[in-house]
Chain A
């Protein structure tokens, strides 16, 4: 009884001990904040990676892909059993994206994926990362009138409106150019016939000079390489009312992110929904040829993972199969390059993967079978390692705080020597006296880590406001949206983490009070009473 009374009283009167516990408080608060932010980040990342990659992915390395995906799926269903809850097939092919921007071609290397929007959403998150609100619920490869990304003013006009404006503008310029040419021709005719010849000579000389300078920056694809040239198609499409096959571009493939003069983050789009882009990719035939196909951008894809946003472009599966010649002309059976599987929650992905690998051994099939964790293994393990090391370091901080408590407690024990003598004279046992200081350590640990818990949770709760405040004072952006694709700092508080951080901190405080408590217990009562 007296031990609790006394240690409560010591807590109320010994502020120096509270000072020593501040480091525990700070350590606990930091641990909670760091763990929450780290788990927020990694959960967000897991979610995105997992959402994008589906559970298990079977990729075929052959350019022609694997024929008859239905037969494959039946076989996979047999292997997976009831664990298989969804599947989707797609064609993935390396491609070059060409964007016509102010008369110049911008080339980007992309991963062109042909997918079936309905089944693809079963295995991974696709629709929810599209910009148009209606595409988020049911993705479509038809250009929409307007309403892309209501919160982005750069895309306010995107859609048919942008397309019509652009075409009108192009036609106006064409008309102007034609008028000018006509005027020039008329002028030349008026000036007399003899100058015609010198003009032609000058043009020829300019062309020769250009050739001597080396390759120009304009597109210079040799026509033999390009099969199925889409020029006829171009002529057949009226851009005012019609569109080319739809394509959804990863947002970073057609935009750059920068800061404007006022320091605001701004995106500049080379192409936006409504624009036409060119895709150049190999066909599936044994003798590879390059296909040059025009597409109309119908939406943009923003997952927040820069790796995906800067390399992906999506088109309709059947169209891509047609373009690439992946349809058997005799049987009409289509080929795919990738099968993605969605498995029931809690399924052992590695076991399924191994079973599939056993069925499709790499010696016989050019397949690569991976779980989403395998795909992102190095990244995930790096984050895990980082979290572990941070936890160890922060716990060392609390351990250092433990030595502070140890020193303070020794001081308090020395200061309380006479009281210890008195207590022993009143019949208190050594264990009783030592338990005063152990309880005191426990109480201090509790108070310190409790304060740290509250502080840490408050910090986590207001972390975005704190980041903004810091930004205001320092002018330095804490959470740079040009680097991270989150607008807010993601945090997740795991109750289990709180419990073990609290327990750890309290244990350290109690351990630090063991030595001083033992000293107090061993004190000789007579010497303690005489202590001045």
Chain B
């Protein structure tokens, strides 16, 4: 039985303008992400997968098309709503970790809570936030490095801190942009195992971008991106049929 839809997008197009020439990146993409599944998005560099993720994370706006999160349209929602969506409803994991270098591991994990809450609210629930951040760091196996700065950590450790940070506000969905892209195979495998674990225990929905077919094959749903369009790929047994449309 198919699980409910978390994120849907219809007819997304996006092109970049360079010297009055339009460079189309997305040419009409439809997306359906279902609850509790790992969806992989494979494609070569320049296929538009990162741009798609930025649109889905509301970091950028599509030229045309609509994005719905749990039935609410978010691509043209007011700024404050989008900020809250990014802070609260989704967690983003980047290829280059993007930890704040001035903050320690635990402070990086706490950052989304600090951003999402007012100073007063944060102080009121400070100990609770701290407990949650410590629990998350423990979960990714880095509690002993809580006070370390990103500069003192390895790539794998940084990515694990980034995952803990993405989980801080208890999001419904994780968007991971090549989470293993900058790591060696073994460390990458560790990260993937961690994500798989999280999916099992927390019933998390994960949308993962990768260029590694092997990783994509281990996902529940797999889409292939090519020339700004999504092609149906390897699909898990109960996955819904994905429409592939031309713009």
Contact = CB atoms under 8 A, between A and B. Distances in A.
B87 A427 contact: yes
B79 interface: yes
B86 A422 contact: no
How big is chain B's contact interface, by range? 20 to 34
B100 A419 contact: yes
Nearest to A530: B50
A6 B102 contact: yes
Interface stretch (A259-267, A308-316, A428-436): A428-436
Contacts of A429: 79-80, 83
A13 B102 contact: yes
Given A1-B114, A2-B114, A529-B94, A428 B83 contact: yes
Nearest to A429: B83
Contacts of A4: 119
Contacts of A529: 59, 94, 98
A1 B119 contact: yes
B9 to A, nearest CB: 17
Contacts of B79: 429-430
Given A429-B79, A526-B60, A529-B98, A5 B103 contact: yes
A425 B115 contact: no
B115 to A, nearest CB: 5
Contacts of A426: 86-87, 92, 111-112, 115, 165
A526 B177 CA distance: 13
Contacts of B115: 1-2, 423, 426-428, 432
Nearest to A6: B102
Interface in A400-452: 418-419, 421-430, 432
A273 interface: no
B103 A427 contact: no
A8 to B, nearest CB: 9
A4 B112 CA distance: 14
Nearest 3 CB-CB pairs, A to B?
A427-B87, A9-B102, A2-B114
18 contacts: A2-B114, A5-B103, A6-B102, A6-B103, A10-B102, A418-B98, A419-B100, A419-B101, A423-B100, A425-B57, A425-B86, A426-B87, A426-B111, A426-B112, A427-B83, A429-B83, A525-B59, A526-B54
Interface of B: 54, 57, 59-60, 79-80, 83-88, 92, 94, 98-103, 107, 111-112, 114-119, 122-123, 165
Given A1-B123, A418-B98, 20 more contacts: A1-B115, A1-B117, A1-B118, A5-B107, A6-B102, A9-B102, A9-B103, A419-B98, A423-B111, A426-B115, A427-B83, A427-B86, A427-B87, A427-B116, A429-B80, A525-B59, A526-B54, A529-B59, A529-B94, A529-B98
